[in-house]
Amino acid sequence: DAGVIQSPRHEVTEMGQEVTLRCKPISGHDYLFWYRQTMMRGLELLIYFNNNVPIDDSGMPEDRFSAKMPNASFSTLKIQPSEPRDSAVYFCASRGLAGKGEQFFGPGTRLTVL
Amino acid sequence: AQKITQTQPGMFVQEKEAVTLDCTYDTSDQSYGLFWYKQPSSGEMIFLIYQGSYDEQNATEGRYSLNFQKARKSANLVISASQLGDSAMYFCAMRPPRGGRNQGGKLIFGQGTELSVKP
């Protein structure tokens, strides 16, 4: 079975540009999470969805960040406009109702904003 | 506030020896879950082991075991017979009780411990 798929794996952009990160969760999983990882702040939860509906977006840093989940197999995280301090690794994770509640992570997108 | 603390930024262990990675947590809740993840240099996050707050037995998964001491609020990861491939960052995480804004079981992560296994 395919795991969580993220694209692109690497993104380099210039300050002010729009960035869109994409995620395909594991088929059948009801929950989707977006995390950001930096050396300074560690792993932070940005937002999560249940059945395509955003449940908690309290971790979204500011209005420049937005996330959508138009269907059960696709989610996007958009940054507009991007700033150098947004440089980080962005992870998408998903989980289903079965199991112990563990989340399965994608490979991450390494974003560099120049 | 709920918090995970990993006090060891880096650890070294000799190949084939056992190593313990420390994790303490802070919560006033009675129901919660504790997780350990491994992040190798390639960057992916790999789930290792889970302990529920009501589980009476310490969790084990192959060479991984979780030393759960509820009264001390600690959930240390023990890796037995270390292998070179165990070199990675290890993260402890806590899932607060489900309900309200945490219906989905969001995780709170510690800062991680970097483990290096020496041949």
pLDDT tens for chain A, 114 residues: list them.
Answer: 689 999 999 999 999 999 999 999 999 999 999 999 999 889 999 999 999 999 989 899 889 999 999 999 999 999 999 999 999 999 999 998 777 788 999 999 999 999
Q: How confident is the model at residue B106 (pLDDT cuts 50, 70, 90)?
A: confident
B91 touches chain A (CB under 8 A): yes
Alpha-carbon torsion A108, B44, B94, A111, what sign?
negative
Angstroms from B27 CA to nearest CA on chain A: 18
Would you state the structure tokens that stand for residue A62, as one six-digit string? 């500011």
B64 touches chain A (CB under 8 A): no
CA dist., res. B43 & res. A45, Å (int): 17
**Nearest neighbour of B104 by CB, restricted to A55, A91, A110:** A55
Angstroms from A36 CA to nearest CA on chain B: 12
Selection from B29, B69, B66 nearest residue B47 by Cα: B66
Q: How many CB pairs under 8 A join A and B?
A: 57
Q: Name the residue type at position A25.
A: P
Asked if B47 lies within 8 A of A104 by C-beta distance, the reply is: yes
Instruction: Give the pairing type, strands B74-79 and B60-61.
Output: unpaired
Residue B72 CA: distances (Å) to CA of A16, B26, B35, B40, B67: 48, 10, 17, 29, 11
- Kindly report the average pLDDT of chain B as a whole number: 92
Whose tokens are 């997780």? That residue is: B35
Share of chain B above pLDDT 70, in %: 93
In the prediction, which pLDDT does A100 show? Answer: 78
> Is B70:B58 a contact under the CB 8 Å cutoff?
no
The predicted-structure confidence for B30-56, as pLDDT tens digits, reads as follows 888 999 999 999 999 999 999 999 998
In the prediction, which pLDDT does B41 show? Answer: 93
